[in-house]
Amino acid sequence: MTVSPAVSTVPDRVATDAFDGSRVRVVLMVDIHDGTQKEFLDAYEHMCAQVAAVPGHISDQLCQSLENPTQWLITSEWESAEPFLAWVNSDQHLEMVEPMSGCIRDTRSLRYTVLRETFGTGEAAPAAGLQPAPRTGGNVVRHALTFTVTPGSEAVVAELLSHYASPQPRVDDTTRLLRTSLFMHGNRIVRAVEVRGDLQAALRHVARQPEVRAVEEAINPYLEQDRDLDDPKSARAFFTRAALPAVHHVDAATPAVDVQRVALLYPARPGAGPDLARLLARQDAAAAGDPDAADCPVTSCTVFHRDDLVVRLVDVAGDPQDTPGRVLALSDPQARAAAAPLLDADALGLDVPLADERSLPRLLTRARMRPLTDRTAPTA
C-alpha cells in the first residue's frame, strides 16, 4: 500500500516537513589535512560514480576554496528528503565515504529544501520539486538517536541513563542545548534532543562533556552494537546507524503549560516505515490546521523515522489515556484503516484489530515508551 507522498502543509504550525516533495540541496563544508588534496580528489571521484546510482540523487558538485586550498565544498541535489535521509544514515554511505576519512580534519553538513530558483534570461524556472511555501518556527532543531541494548540488561541501562549530571547547555554565542529526553521500550533506547542554533556543534559539545562521556562508557558493555568512542571510525559508524532524523514537526499553537512529554514507538511492517511515517505526519498536519480541534490535548509533536522504525514525540495536556486516538494521531477511522497494513501490531502485542476504535487505549499502552530522563535547560 502506498500513502500519498505529499503532506498538506500548514505554514503557521508545521516547522519541519520531509514529505512535501521538495527537492533537497545538501551543502557539505570540508576541511582537509594539507597535502592530501590529490588523495581527497581521487576518493571523491571514486565515490561520486557510486552516489550517482543512488535512487533519488540528481547531481553533485565539488568546489575548492579560492583562498584556502584545504577548504572544500561538496553540494548535492536530491529529488526529496526521503531518499537522501535513507542514504546518508545507511551502511552504504559509510562505505562510500570511508576512503575520504583519512584526509578530513573537520566537516559541517547543511540541508535545505529548494524554495525558489532563478535561471538565465529566457529560461523558464521549473516549478516541480519546489517547496510550496516557507515554513515557520523558532530557531530550534530536533534530532534523535536510537539503539538497542542486550536483552536482560534493560534495568541496569535504565538506571544508568536515569541518573547523570546534565551537560552545560551553552555551546557558544549562538548555540544552546534546550532539552534532552530519553525513553525505553523493551531493549530499545531513544534519546531526543532539542537545540537552538547549530545541531552538529551541540552534539559535539555534548560528546565532549565528562559527565556524558562517563555515562556513554558505562553503557558500552550492554550495547548490542559494539562501539569504541576512542576510535573515530567506530564512533562515526555507531552514531550514523543510530541516527533517527526528525521528518515532521508541528509547533505548539500556544506556549505549552502543564504538559507532559510522551514518546510513542510505531514498529512498521518490512518496507512500510516511510508510508507509516508519512501517514502520521499527515494526520498531525491536518490536526494542526483543523479549527474544530482547538481542544486537542496534543500541543506539539515530532515524527522521527528511519527504515521500519517510527517514533512520535508528543507534548500532551492532561492524561494521554483520556484521548488515545488524538495522542496516537489515529482518531480518524480512515487513518486507522490506512495504518492497519503498515503497523506491525504483533510487535506491540496488539490482539485487537486496529480498525476497531476500542483498540486505541491498548495500542497507546503498548506503544508508549518508558520515560527515563527529561532535562530542560534553565532559561538563559
Q: Which residues pair with 195 in a beta bridge?
A: 141, 177
CA-to-CA dists, residue 175 to 145, 202, 375, angstroms: 20, 7, 17
* CA nearest neighbour of 225 among 154, 149, 309, 160: 149
In a shared domain, residues 219 and 253 = no
Domain assignment present for residue 41? The answer is: yes
Domain assignment present for residue 170? The answer is: yes
- Mean of pLDDT values over 338-367: 90
Domain assignment present for residue 121? The answer is: no
Please write the tens of the pLDDT for every residue from 24-68: 999 999 999 999 999 999 999 999 889 999 999 999 999 999 999
pLDDT score at 362: 93
Residue that has been written with the C-alpha cell 554565542 in this structure: 173
Hey, which bits of the chain come out as E strands? Answer: 14-17, 24-32, 57-64, 71-78, 104-113, 140-148, 176-185, 188-196, 243-250, 259-267, 298-306, 309-317, 370-376
Query: What domain range is 89 assigned to?
Result: 24-113
State the DSSP string of 351-369.
-S-TTSGGGHHHHHHHHBP
The verdict on pTM exceeding 0.95 is no
Q: How far apart are CA 358 and CA 161, in angstroms?
A: 35
Domain assignment present for residue 6? The answer is: no
Residue that has been written with the C-alpha cell 494526520 in this structure: 283
Is the Cβ–Cβ distance between 284 and 250 less than 8 Å? yes
pLDDT score at 133: 85
In a shared domain, residues 344 and 263 = yes
Please write the tens of the pLDDT for every residue from 266-280: 999 999 999 999 999
Please write the tens of the pLDDT for every residue from 141-183: 999 999 999 999 999 999 999 987 778 888 888 899 999 999 9
